[in-house]
Copies of this chain bind each other. A is one copy, B any other.
Amino acid sequence: MGIDEIILLEHGSGGKATERLIKEVFLACFKKVPLLDSAVLSFESNNLAFTTDSFVVDPIFFPGGNIGSLAVHGTVNDLAMVGARPLYLSAAFILEEGLLLDELKKIAASMAEAAKKAGVEIVCGDTKVVPRGKGDKVYINTTGIGLIPQGVSLDPCHIKEGDKVIVSGPIADHGLAVLAARENLGLEGLKSDSQALNHVCAALLKEFKDAVRVMRDPTRGGLASVLHEFSQASQKGIFLYEEKIPIRPQVKAGCEILGLDPLYLASEGRFVLVCEASFSGEIVRFLRQFDECQGAAEIGEVVASPQGLYLQTTFGGKRPVPPLSGEPLPRIC
């Protein structure tokens, strides 16, 4: 059968195949199911954000977190990225027969702790059990509701020539840590960056609402996929300064050994933002006050043309960074 007649792992990559699947299957039916993570809904006189994510990470426990904390952080961050204050989460579990109850208890406790720290309440839930071999220990869906303050409107279409690109900390930790844990790669010092970003994003928007064009967390598909999306939506080009992109030495070394490009690896506690150039330095300094954003850095700029994503290498060269295709890392989130 042809590549697009059956579902392949790469349909879940967050790259080109995912985009094609969403366009062909879901957009054809639900005109509003967005490529964006959160829907922004108008509700009475408020703007509500509404977002859903299913988590199928393997393994369910990894350095720096587990599927439960990840499921809370992921959805909280999707709300934070549209400028929303997260209010409520639902939590739905698909359990595989044979899962250890102790593992489920640890996961639930992590969710509760993560929710408390983020200041969000888990208010409804669901539990299904599937027979052995029809799941993989536990899958969790979290869906979140948040409230968007008046006047906040973040959109990649607002991106202008000359704008700067900032990332809130080192990239690719989560993706590599999960991969290393799954494959028992024996790489040292890796740890997921999974954390909630809503407090720092709220503070940022309070100070710099008019300077920030758009924010996004580079999860599946990594930094490169987010910036491709920004480039497409704004019809602009994005130039990254290779030497300025923060990557931990362990992550860089691990990627070199494995032949992976960190630009495509997931973070789960970082965000990238585009802002008006004149505020860039101030925003970086502001972010670095927060524990969540110690490694914030300006990493690139927006140009009128050529469109697409380019890397200005340390040696002065310039190479295009293509959109993700294929599935380098399944089940990272």
Please list the residues of chain A having a beta carbon within 8 angstroms of any beta carbon in chain B. Answer: 4-12, 18, 21-22, 24-26, 28-30, 32-34, 36-39, 41, 43-46, 48, 50-56, 87-88, 90-102, 104-105, 108-109, 111-112, 115, 121-131, 133-136, 139, 141, 143, 145, 330-331
Contact = CB atoms under 8 A, between A and B. Distances in A.
A98 B7 contact: yes
A51 B143 CA distance: 9
A122 B30 CA distance: 6
A54 B141 contact: yes
Given A111-B29, A129-B12, A95 B7 contact: yes
A92 to B, nearest CB: 4
Nearest to A32: B123
A139 B94 contact: yes
Q: How many copies does the complex hold?
A: 2
B123 A33 contact: yes
A81 to B, nearest CB: 13
Given A30-B112, A135-B135, 11 more contacts: A4-B101, A7-B96, A30-B111, A30-B125, A50-B90, A50-B145, A52-B124, A130-B330, A130-B331, A131-B331, A133-B133
B32 A108 contact: no
Given A32-B121, A122-B32, A125-B30, A97 B143 contact: no
Contact of A26 (B125, B130, B134): B125
Nearest to A34: B124
Given A25-B108, A54-B126, A101 B5 contact: yes
A104 B52 contact: no
Contacts of A32: 121-124
Given A32-B121, A44-B44, A123-B33, A136 B134 contact: yes
Given A52-B124, A54-B93, A94-B54, A29 B109 contact: yes
A124 B9 CA distance: 22
A38 B127 contact: no
B52 A91 contact: yes
B9 A129 contact: yes
Given A123-B41, A331-B130, A6 B100 contact: yes
Given A88-B39, A141-B92, A30 B101 contact: no
Given A88-B50, A101-B7, A108-B26, A128 B12 contact: yes
A145 B112 CA distance: 22
Instruction: In the A-B complex, list the 7 residue pairs whose CB atoms are closest, starting with the nearest.
Output: A12-B129, A52-B90, A143-B143, A29-B112, A39-B123, A141-B141, A39-B124
Contact of A7 (B4, B6, B97): B97
Contact of A30 (B10, B91, B129): B91
Contacts of A136: 130, 134-135
A92 B6 CA distance: 18
A75 to B, nearest CB: 10
A99 B4 CA distance: 11
26 contacts: A6-B97, A7-B99, A10-B129, A11-B95, A12-B128, A28-B105, A29-B109, A29-B112, A30-B112, A30-B122, A32-B122, A33-B122, A37-B124, A37-B126, A38-B124, A39-B90, A44-B45, A48-B145, A50-B88, A50-B145, A52-B126, A94-B139, A129-B330, A133-B133, A134-B136, A141-B143
